[in-house]
Amino acid sequence: MDLSSSDGELNDSAIFDEHDSEDVFRITVTTDNHLGFMEKDAERGMDSFISFEEALEIAKEEQVDFILLGGDLFHENKPSRDCLTKCQKLFREHCFGDKPIEFEILSDEVTNFGHTGFPRANFNDPNLNVSIPVFSIHGNHDDPTGQQNLCAMDTLAAAGLVNYFGKSNTSCDQGVNIVPVLLQKGCTKIAIYGLGAIKDERLYNMFEKGLVQFIRPAEDSDDWFNIFVIHQNRSAHGKKNYIPETFLPDFLDLVIWGHEHECRIRPEYNELQRFFVSQPGSSVITSLSESELEPKHIGLLKIYKKNFKLESVPLRSVRQFMMTNVILAESELNPADKNIELKIEQYLAKKVLSLIDKCQKNRYCYEKQPIKPLIRIKCDYTDYEPINEIRFAQKMVDKVANPRNILQFYRKPTEIKAEANLDVEASKYLRMNGGGEQLEYVKVQDLVKKYFKKADERNKMVAITEKGLSDAIQEYIEKDEKDAIGELINYQINKIQTYLKKEIKWQNEFQLEEEIRNFQKIRLTNTEEEEKELKEVFEKSRKNTQQNTRANESDEEAPFSHRAYDSDELDEFKEKSSSGRGRGSKGGSTRSRGRGSRTTRAGRGAKSSVQEEKSFFSSSSRSVIKKEQISLDSDEDIITLDHKAKPIKSMSATPSIRRPRIDYDDDDEDEYMSSKKTKITDSKLEDDDTSNTFKI
């Protein structure tokens, strides 16, 4: 594409400020908020909510037109009631009010939002008073499941809190039609295409077969600024476990890429496809890995006609994280020393304290930023013995937020026997990827594939296929479908039994095993049939889960002694004794009697046993550290999209085309905060170029 201005009308960044109130869209962009991450952890349980609240505060202060979310708003597929309640409080507090909506929706609202049960945008609902609309797709953590194909985002949409779009039928036979949400503000028109998370391999195959279509506006298709919000693997995790950028149509102007947690929010230009890609990353640290070391940002996107400007705004409430590598062989520690374990412990403790000191020096002057940082030490202990990690963690409880997994020990790879190859390799893979809370980022497909590839032929599973086992484990882990693995095993074993009874005559166990292996090879060649079978198996599993859920819910209508409790109620119930009677009894039962008993029905003047919960959401305004205005006089400071330099397809539906793939102690806290407030300046913001404006 020719990087020149399409017209002489725009030649400096002031245009976005001059037309702010009339023609310029102002949009807050954020992805992968993962609300509810480690919510039961006393230290880190509020991290995801605090950072997301800051993002909403920024949107409110910047008076944006709307907020655009790129998936994974929730960390769990079935978020807890506490998590859902906190999320709804945040939206109610920051996105509802009397601020008028200055843009209009031009597309068919029934087509965009009909799946939510309310075929209209929430800001057009006469029963709601929305000040900042929220548009969101779903991610792989909160994707639709079950017979009704619902997710947590459907709950928020039904409550009128978000505008949920990008939900599609993921059947490989029918394909996907991506219909945009069309918005207009003054003379600026934008088309927002969205596609919620689909299994990468399935979506890859759909793109290859041309089953993904982008529906373009029939009139004035060249006048629209086209945004695509996607939530898939961007980096390759296998042959088909990602979506290449070359699969996306070239009429797009800006792609907002979710799912990847590394912050690469500055727009990156794709020379071949001639569009920009922005990867905001997550707003909370969910894994102790290199990709989480980059500072977290959200985007402030401004659009005027075919030009856009993306400013990256740092999130100052994110918990600090630092990591370093230590090789004990390069230290002066002697492995033969009788006190070597103690000396290693002291050596590593100094490393941790050094990182903590760096965190303290780089803290933002922001009251909501957590005090304790996250620290990770990757330690190569080749030729040494590992220390007692539990004892080390106990010494760091008051200093870091993750005392249990500060240390990650590993050895240099050595030659191993073939018989032990699988277990050692799998163990090393888990260790190198962090273990513990990072386990979710170890790809299930990779582990299963490694097993089938490296396991000894005599001991390898033959009744269950690689894809079947991989998908079943993923259903169990990500969607909490407890019957998925069992249903898969029963189905595939029954199929083999049917095959052996009808088709094959065998004489002994050796022939039987050989026939099973042959049947397995036949099944591997028919991938489409296996895809359908797996879909039926998992649907049956979801129905079983729903039936069990309904049975548990019906138990709530049963008498007190027979009621089924969930985990939250059970903990509360254990703290109370059984029904008590008599004066002074501390019974917790509703049937308690007698003067002075602590019943749930407190008498007049009695203190309530449940204190009023204090809101963690501060109503005070957020004090934003403003950066000095940078004068941008260069013609390359504004992104101008010149579609005259390329041919535009004159069609209402643009199918996807396969293109060549590119390999691409509280007192201390108060004293510390008071001493640091005067020392912390705007230097943190000035380190990075937070205003990215381009011109094409």
Residues whose CB is less than 8 angstroms from the CB of residue 372 and which lie 6 or more positions away in sequence, other chains included: 43, 319, 399, 400, 401
Tokens for 290, please give them.
């290199």
From the list 163, 136, 165, 156, the residue with the least C-alpha distance to 68 is 136
The 3-class SS string of 330-353 reads HCCCCCCCCCHHHHHHHHHHHHHH
- What gap in Å lies between CA 549 and CA 556, rounded to an integer? 11
Decide: 48 and 90 in contact? Cβ < 8 Å. no
Decide: 640 and 73 in contact? Cβ < 8 Å. no
Residue 3: CA count within 13 A, CB half-sphere: 13
Q: Average pLDDT of 402-426? A: 68
DSSP conformation class of 74: B
Tokens for 201, please give them.
């391999």
The predicted-structure confidence for 551-568, as pLDDT tens digits, reads as follows 655 554 444 333 444 444
Tell me which residues are annotated as active site: 141
pLDDT of residue 15: 64
Q: Average pLDDT of 8-29? A: 68
Q: Average pLDDT of 269-289? A: 94
On the question of pLDDT at 450 being above 90, the answer is no
On the question of pLDDT at 363 being above 60, the answer is yes
Q: Average pLDDT of 456-478? A: 68
pLDDT of residue 462: 64
Taking each helix axis as running N to C, give the angle between helix 509-525 and helix 527-554, from 0 to 180 degrees, rounded to the nearest 10.
100
- What gap in Å lies between CA 431 and CA 477, rounded to an integer? 19
List C-alpha distances in Å: 79 to 87, 152, 444, 464. 10, 7, 22, 31
Quickly state the pLDDT bin for 670 (edges 50, 70, 90). low
Decide: 152 and 129 in contact? Cβ < 8 Å. no
**Among the listed ranges 32-46, 439-453, 554-568, which one has the minimum average pLDDT value?**
554-568
**Among the listed ranges 290-294, 346-350, 411-415, 428-432, which one has the minimum average pLDDT value?**
428-432
pLDDT of residue 455: 59
If one compares 655 and 548, the residue with the highest pLDDT of the two is 548
On the question of pLDDT at 245 being above 80, the answer is yes
Taking each helix axis as running N to C, give the angle between helix 47-61 and helix 81-95, from 0 to 180 degrees, rounded to the nearest 10.
10
Tokens for 342, please give them.
């103690």
Backbone angles phi, psi at 439, to 5 degrees: -55, -30
Residues whose CB is less than 8 angstroms from the CB of residue 323 and which lie 6 or more positions away in sequence, other chains included: 288, 290, 293, 355, 375, 376, 377, 378
pLDDT of residue 437: 42
Kindly give the pairing relationship between strand 307-314 and strand 297-304: antiparallel
Sole residue written with tokens 């809190």: 161
On the question of pLDDT at 668 being above 70, the answer is no
Instruction: Say how many C-beta atoms besides its own lie within 10 A of residue 99's C-beta.
Output: 14
**Among the listed ranges 238-242, 330-334, 654-658, which one has the minimum average pLDDT value?**
654-658
Q: What does pLDDT average to over the chain?
A: 75
Quickly state the pLDDT bin for 464 (edges 50, 70, 90). confident
On the question of pLDDT at 606 being above 80, the answer is no
- What gap in Å lies between CA 238 and CA 244, rounded to an integer? 12
Q: Average pLDDT of 199-222? A: 89
From the list 342, 282, 358, 293, the residue with the least C-alpha distance to 321 is 293
The predicted-structure confidence for 490-500, as pLDDT tens digits, reads as follows 877 787 777 77
Cα 405-411-416 angle, rounded to 5 deg = 130
| Concatenated DSSP letters of 427-447 | HHHHHHTT-GGGGGGS-HHHH
DSSP conformation class of 596: T
Quickly state the pLDDT bin for 659 (edges 50, 70, 90). very low
Give helix then strand counts, H and E, for the chain.
17, 21
From the list 246, 237, 307, the residue with the least C-alpha distance to 272 is 246
Instruction: Say how many C-beta atoms besides its own lie within 10 A of residue 197's C-beta.
Output: 24
Tokens for 21, please give them.
């109130």
If one compares 463 and 234, the residue with the highest pLDDT of the two is 234
Q: Give kind and range of the element (H or E) at residue 692.
A: strand 691-693
In angstroms and rounded to an integer, the radius of gyration of the C-alpha atoms of the chain is 29
Decide: 150 and 167 in contact? Cβ < 8 Å. no
- What gap in Å lies between CA 284 and CA 459, rounded to an integer? 42
List C-alpha distances in Å: 195 to 72, 165, 551, 608, 655. 13, 8, 34, 49, 15
Sole residue written with tokens 């000191």: 357
pLDDT of residue 607: 42
If one compares 584 and 549, the residue with the highest pLDDT of the two is 549
pLDDT of residue 522: 72
Q: Is the dihedral of CA 183, 222, 252, 4 positive or negative?
A: negative
pLDDT of residue 445: 62
pLDDT of residue 687: 47
Tokens for 637, please give them.
């400071």
If one compares 43 and 541, the residue with the highest pLDDT of the two is 43
pLDDT of residue 144: 87
The predicted-structure confidence for 89-139, as pLDDT tens digits, reads as follows 999 999 999 999 999 999 999 999 988 888 889 999 999 999 999 999 999
Q: Average pLDDT of 276-280? A: 96
On the question of pLDDT at 46 being above 70, the answer is yes
**Among the listed ranges 43-47, 327-331, 380-384, 450-454, which one has the minimum average pLDDT value?**
450-454
Decide: 246 and 231 in contact? Cβ < 8 Å. no
Instruction: Say how many C-beta atoms besides its own lie within 10 A of residue 400's C-beta.
Output: 23
Quickly state the pLDDT bin for 449 (edges 50, 70, 90). low
Quickly state the pLDDT bin for 569 (edges 50, 70, 90). very low
Which 3 state secondary structure label does DSSP give 514? Answer: helix
On the question of pLDDT at 521 being above 90, the answer is no
pLDDT of residue 682: 45
pLDDT of residue 536: 76
Q: Average pLDDT of 394-411? A: 92
Which 3 state secondary structure label does DSSP give 534? Answer: helix
Q: Give kind and range of the element (H or E) at residue 528.
A: helix 527-554
| CATH numbers and ranges of domains, the chain | 14-316+625-693 (3.60.21.10), 321-412 (3.30.110.110), 443-556 (no CATH)
- What gap in Å lies between CA 35 and CA 141, rounded to an integer? 11
pLDDT of residue 427: 53
**Among the listed ranges 87-101, 119-133, 381-395, 467-481, which one has the minimum average pLDDT value?**
467-481
- What gap in Å lies between CA 51 and CA 67, rounded to an integer? 15
Instruction: Say how many C-beta atoms besides its own lie within 10 A of residue 347's C-beta.
Output: 16
Decide: 133 and 123 in contact? Cβ < 8 Å. yes
On the question of pLDDT at 61 being above 90, the answer is yes
**Does the predicted model carry a pTM greater than 0.85?**
no
Which 3 state secondary structure label does DSSP give 477? Answer: helix
Amino acid at 16: F
Classify burial at 252, counting beta carbons within 10 Å of its beta carbon; exposed 0-12, middle 13-18, buried 19 or more.
Answer: buried
On the question of pLDDT at 677 being above 70, the answer is no
From the list 414, 523, 508, the residue with the least C-alpha distance to 463 is 523
